[in-house]
């Protein structure tokens, strides 16, 4: 990776990993991903049904592979997962040196279970195990939603040795529930005499808080709710890492379940295009950025001193936001439900595109 002092290398030196919130066969074939790893300090990437729906629908990169796999009898979800796993295997191999150099902490790619399983614990567990085995890469996370039904699946997947990216987290309470599921899975492994080195990240969605509240808040709080939730979650994360419970697990060799800031592309055209990146720069975390946000930050981003673990300012702003009439628990649950529904819609659209191309 480059040693030049650029915004992305400065963010990396602060201690925050930069992951790409995108994957297409095009950026693998033309060398773009490899170039960004070398020049923009990218150390991982994430995917989801919406990303793949756009990638397959809006390009012809997958057409030949779709034709071949259909001839082999692949259809529907099986067809999609074969295409996605081929991409993610190639990406995982590009990140493998980073994964090795960081002792397994970084250099990850992510594949999501079918969003149709968001409220089906048993089916999610079975799918997570099957997909991880099919991908056959040590640095591939299986994404499981942090819904109430997903939490037991997260614990069981961790206990089974499947690395998990917990997705669709919005509130601090949802994050802490995901962290609890991870810790229970690790503790059960230790009790069973198994290795505690099963990695996980917890993905907190940021920008989606600000769209539904844009017209509810005074100007000084506009586009601040997502940042404030992120800051409060970071304080909770740091408290957890400093706890006696985690210290005992770390002493046995457990790596932290890192907090990942997701959905960090700016949606308000009047706001800074690097708003969420600059305000959520924090050691021992991850920011997964869409292409546009990554390139904007590399061009003109400014790396601040970094968040503290105190959370005092966040608590004051959340008090103001609540006083302005925003019901945070209700909105957080609504955002999680709507996020799951949006992924289901993208999933159905994706399968329809595959059927058409088939």
Please list the active-site residues.
Answer: 143
Q: Which residues on adjacent β-strands are paired with residue 19?
A: 44, 288
Contact present, 294 and 199 (Cβ < 8 Å): no
* Parallel, antiparallel or unpaired: strands 200-205 and 164-169: parallel
Which of 36, 2, 16 lies closest to 278 in space, CA to CA? 16
Give me the sheet containing 16-20, strands edge to edge.
Answer: 42-45, 16-20, 285-289, 258-262, 200-205, 164-169, 140-145, 109-112
Enumerate the β-bridge partners of residue 16. 285
φ, ψ dihedrals at 64, nearest 5°: -65, -45
The packing angle between helices 312-323 and 225-241, to 10°, is 140
Determine contact, residues 343/69, Cβ cutoff 8 Å: no
Look at strands 258-262 and 285-289 and give their pairing: parallel
């Amino acid at each position: 990776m480059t040693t030049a002092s650029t915004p992305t290398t400065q963010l990396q030196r602060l201690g925050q990993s930069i992951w790409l919130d995108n994957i297409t066969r095009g950026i693998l074939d033309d060398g773009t991903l490899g170039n960004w790893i070398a020049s923009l300090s990218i150390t991982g990437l994430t995917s989801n049904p919406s990303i793949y729906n756009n990638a397959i629908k809006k390009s012809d990169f997958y057409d030949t592979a779709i034709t071949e796999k259909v001839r082999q009898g692949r259809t529907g979800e099986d067809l999609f997962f074969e295409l996605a796993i081929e991409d993610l295997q190639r990406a995982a191999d590009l990140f493998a040196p980073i994964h090795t150099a960081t002792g397994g902490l970084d250099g990850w790619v992510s594949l999501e279970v079918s969003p149709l399983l968001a409220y089906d614990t048993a089916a999610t567990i079975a799918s997570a195990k099957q997909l991880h085995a099919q991908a056959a890469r040590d640095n591939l996370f299986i994404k499981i939603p942090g819904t109430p039904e997903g939490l037991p699946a997260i614990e069981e997947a961790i206990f089974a040795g499947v690395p998990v990216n917990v997705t669709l987290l919005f509130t601090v309470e949802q994050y802490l529930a995901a962290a609890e599921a991870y810790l229970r899975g690790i503790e059960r492994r230790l009790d069973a005499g198994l290795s505690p080195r099963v990695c996980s990240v917890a993905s907190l969605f940021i920008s989606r808080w600000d769209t539904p509240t844009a017209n509810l808040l005074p100007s000084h709080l506009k586009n601040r709710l997502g940042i404030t939730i992120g800051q409060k979650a970071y304080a909770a994360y740091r408290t957890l890492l400093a706890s006696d419970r985690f210290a005992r697990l770390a002493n046995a060799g457990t790596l932290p379940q890192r907090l990942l800031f997701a959905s960090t592309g700016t949606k308000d055209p009047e706001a800074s295009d690097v708003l969420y990146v600059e305000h959520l720069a924090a050691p021992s975390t991850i920011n997964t950025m869409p292409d546009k946000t990554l390139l904007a930050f590399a061009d003109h981003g400014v790396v601040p001193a970094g968040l503290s673990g105190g959370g005092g300012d966040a608590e004051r702003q959340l008090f103001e936001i609540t006083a302005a009439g925003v019901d945070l628990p209700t909105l957080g649950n609504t955002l999680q439900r709507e996020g799951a529904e949006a992924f289901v819609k993208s999933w159905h659209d994706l399968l329809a595109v595959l059927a058409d191309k088939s």
